[in-house]
Structure 1
Amino acid sequence: MYKYLLALLCIAIPGKLLSQDLNQDNKVLELTYTEAVGILLDQSLPLLSSHYQVEASEGELLQAKAWNNPHFNWNQDLYSAERNEYFNQRNQRLIQLDIMFSISGKHTRGVKLAKIGVEQNQLLYENTKRSLVFELGLKFHQLMMLQKRNELYNIVFTQFKTLIDAYEIQYKVGAIPGSELIRLKSELLTLQNSIVSNQNETEKEMSEIRTLLNLRPEVYIKTKETIVPLPEASQLNFGDLISFAEENRPDYLARLKEISYQEMNLKLQKSKSIPDLMLGYQPHDKGSNYVRPYSGLVFEMDVPIFNRNQGNIASSEANVNRVKTEAEQALVSLQNEIFSSVNKYFHSRRALDNYNLEFLKELEELNNSALQNYNNKNISILQYLDMQRTYINTMSEYLGLQSEILQRVIDIEFTTGYQLYN
């Protein structure tokens, strides 16, 4: 019975479980978080797209500044029934130049509206940058944690594999019972499942980071850790962070700029209730007027009886009220986001502080001595496995907290616009 189970377990456990399946052509790219942000700002396609949106709005501003083109009109005789002649301009020809003038400040307000549009798109560009850096920060530190956890699993896996190899020899000579070897291999299979799950999650995060950084699929990203001084309570004054965010967060500033945009648009719509003025000059009219040739002045404009742009004015007034309400809501959201991000940081900080260096050192020593004590029969297999599980779970949680605390710092940066991570 034991022989069949051992054979199945040996087939199930791979020999090189933790080896990274990389082709020789694959490129390993070692990056710190700061270096990754640099690549993001240099190569990100969404950021480039947002930059083009700024350029497009600058083109709209250029167009808004342009004055109306003059209009040239040529009129001549097509067919004369009296003379049975076609296209004889000697009978009748007229030349006229017209130009439309926007009065009541329509042109000026249109230019100002376009300028605000450029400023809005510049803020949206900054907000796109801010959002991409935030997303990269979360994923980068998650990837770093997963790679560290993979190293942890590698240590335990190697220890288990070495122990199993030695016990298989002892089992063959009848020195140990088969049940004990099966328990060890069963535990190794459980560890294998954790390794596979961790590797799949690692691949998912790495794929998303490659997309953010505009890297080829064959690039393998190896995270490099840097020492980051964690902010203290004195650096995270709630009132100061709120004030800084109100002055620097691009998404909130874009909300305020939207108020300026809608207020200027309301002024523009009111000015459009006054019709434009068309002036024209006829330097020459040979045969169609009482004086031949005739020179005259043309004055044209709409009579604002039915359409006084009242619908667009009412819509613009409603939009002004709408964006003011949305700005108030954005301020409330900003304050709550900052309060929440700071509190979450301190929650994670307190949890991480429980893992002092002395405790981690004792845990490491306990893990190192567990194998020797088990080989010396000082502890049972159940005690040994329990110690291994405790070591794996505790270290895995510690690595998770390390990643989480850095993610909380990045979250504070995202909600306040204040740089804490250098």
Structure 2
Amino acid sequence: MKPATFDLVIAGGGLTGASLACAAASLGRRVAVLESFAIGDDQQPSFDERTIALTFASRRVLEGLGVWRDIDAEACPIESIHISDRGHFGTARLDRSHAGTAALGYVVPTRALGAALTRRMQRFENLEFYCPATAESVEQFTDRVEVRGTNDIHLSAPLLALADGGRSGLGARCGLELETRRYPKVALVAIVGLDRSHENRAFERFTKHGPLALLPMTGQRMALAWTLPEVRARQLASAPADEFLAALQRTFGDRCGAFTRVGSRQTYPLSLGRLAKPFRGRVLAVGNAAHVVHPVAGQGFNLGLRDVAELADHLATCWRVNLDIGGADGLRRYARERRAQTRNVSVFTDGLIGLFTSPAPIVTAARGIGLNVVDVLPPAKRFFLRRTMGLQGRLPRLARGLAPDGE
């Protein structure tokens, strides 16, 4: 039986895969998405109860995709960030005025973003869903890649984009296995309530175990991401609410008032990894299938969206002049554009963890001095913010808030 032919096949319909599907479909080409969970399935891990901190550049990408207007009401702007080192001197306060933008970033419920992307995908008649379905085998040819999946699915396209987060094992079968290094700690995440307004402030407080981040949400709520040893994290995840809130208050202090309530709590492993080369033949890994970073600076999904923006430029250019989107030269150019940022973010986030968990007195003194230098020097603040907000260097169309129309 002949395969169904598409211009692009995407394995994985989570946040990154759905964003890529919207970008590619908006260019008018035939796109197929294989996703192991049914549309709207609450078990889809990308659409769970966590929140996502979006950079300003990521907001622009979602604007270019026509998605932002659907989540704007639930997106809480981050207007300032307070960074501190528990038990040591040194503080840095960063404000949106230092970056020259309306906000430093935005906090969005993952489920709301997933639902908005799903609605956007469903508006494209040239986008076909195969779900629930999984890709089981991939065969590469000189001019195409063929994918076979569950339910007798057989698809063909010039390029297969892996956006499954590395969970399915498909990348390994295609020679793109992402080797990761597990951190010895885990992240405990929850939503906590306050007795006062958070005034759109975010907090990053470094402890001996790692960062404790509090991000503003709509209402008197904040999203908590607390790095802890696994045993302690599991204890706190199952502890009575009053015991958990007391432990959080002792660790964080009262800078944003009293913590009054807490929702469901989950723990997640923390890893670091990056593919040296994100493609093999006509198979290209994007998002967490290509790189995984510590969430200390909130860069994970933002890196995936930047992959989408850069790949959308590649697709638009190739399709406009009838070039092969799966050709080696074009994919090498894409990989070259993404290499520097993914490497820099990996080194930056891993370095922060090492710096702020070291008990060495000289390191403790150096990081305190570093925080104070950033705090008193506006140029240092602007450099740091523009770098972490994804606004440095050449920006692809979507990262400038423009539709990927290829013009």
TM-score bin, normalised by smaller chain: under 0.3
Q: TM-score, normalised by structure 1?
A: 0.23
* Larger fraction in helix: 1
Whose radius of gyration is greater, 1 or 2?
A: 1
* Larger fraction in strand: 2
Q: TM-score, normalised by structure 2?
A: 0.23
